Amino acid sequence: MITAFNTKRPDPEIAKRALEEAKARRAEIDAKTSAAPREIDGRGGLDPARYGDWEIKGISSDF
């Protein structure tokens, strides 16, 4: 007999709240980065440390 380990579905209200919280955090970070002074002769694009760690092309490293 085969049984599933996780047969309970996630609560949609909890998932919705988590998505809203993540959206609010991203908006706060975007507001901070847009208010930051413009870099002269930088690498271009978004600040690689905008999420509190070094992130380039989706790869993140924390020093």
Residue 58 tokens read as 């989706």
d(CA 58, CA 51): 11
At 25 the pLDDT is 92
Q: What is the pLDDT of residue 4?
A: 58
pLDDT < 50 positions in the chain? none
Instruction: Name every residue whose Cβ is closer than 8 Å to that of residue 46 and which is 6 or more positions away in sequence.
Output: 33
Q: Tell me, what's the pLDDT at 20? A: 96
User: Residue 61: which H helix or E strand, with range?
Assistant: strand 59-61
Q: Which two tokens stand for residue 1?
A: 């007999």
Q: What is the pLDDT of residue 57?
A: 73
pLDDT in the model for residue 23: 95
**Residue 48 in contact with residue 54, Cβ under 8 Å?**
yes
Q: Are the beta carbons of 29 and 51 closer than 8 angstroms?
A: yes
